[in-house]
Amino acid sequence: MSSQIKKGVLLTFEGIDGSGKSSAAQTVYAALSSHYNVILTREPGATPLGVSLRELVHHSPTPLCSRAEFLLFAADRAQHVTEVIVPHLSQGYIVISDRMADSSVAYQGYGRGLDKEFIMAVNAWALQGVRPDATLYLHVDYETARERIEKRAEKPTALEQEQAVFFKRVAQGFDTLFKDRSDVFSIDASMEKEQVHAFCIQRVVEFLTSRGL
């Protein structure tokens, strides 16, 4: 995406289900709202099409094959970028997204065993040149994440009901994907929620300050 078009900042939150990334993203959004033009969005489900795709992916009446699952996420991503992310970046917004393309590499690539190069190629096409300026990776062990999921009131999604071995592959995928990336801030999400949120806010404020914002 050219600098003439992209005037805003894109921040993404990543991690396995139960890592606390969604509540952290909401807290950072609330902290920034009084000082910046900021929008909180998510994948999947940030557009009318995305809402339908989210329901299909998470609560399909019949099991989805791995390839169909990825392609549905990719369709959501393409619409999300076109309808939400690009318009807000072009207006100078800070866009905070709860999950984006890295999740597909970790979940469908490492978790499902699909071709990671193919996933990255489709992601690049769907993203239309958009890349996160910074990513907050909330890493946590599977046991802690599972305990948190089981305490939730809502019915678990199809992905949340996967076995431990799947989530451990996904976590390893995130670790591998992010280990050499300078744009990723790794947060220990096993801490108390308030501590995690404080660290996230601190990292984001430091990043924005470094960008002169």
- Which residues lie below 8 Å from residue 154, measured CB to CB, with a gap of 6+? none
- Rounded-to-integer distance, Cα 183 and Cα 2, Å: 19
User: Which of 45, 55, 109, 108 lies closest to 77, judged by CA?
Assistant: 45
pLDDT-derived band at 49 (thresholds 50, 70, 90) equals very high
Residue ranges per structural domain of the chain: 9-210
- Rounded-to-integer distance, Cα 46 and Cα 35, Å: 23
Where helices occur in 109-141 by DSSP H, the ranges are 116-127
Mean of per-residue pLDDT scores for the chain = 95
**DSSP summary character for residue 15:** -
User: Which of 192, 147, 136 lies closest to 17, judged by CA?
Assistant: 147
- Which residues lie below 8 Å from residue 205, measured CB to CB, with a gap of 6+? none
| Whole-structure pTM value | 0.94
Q: Evaluate whether the domain defined by 9-210 bears CATH number 1.20.140.10.
A: no
- Rounded-to-integer distance, Cα 142 and Cα 164, Å: 7
pLDDT for res 5:
46
pLDDT-derived band at 9 (thresholds 50, 70, 90) equals very high
pLDDT for res 89:
97
- Token readout for 7 is 């005037």
pLDDT for res 79:
99
- Which residues lie below 8 Å from residue 67, measured CB to CB, with a gap of 6+? 114
Q: 3-class DSSP state for residue 39?
A: strand
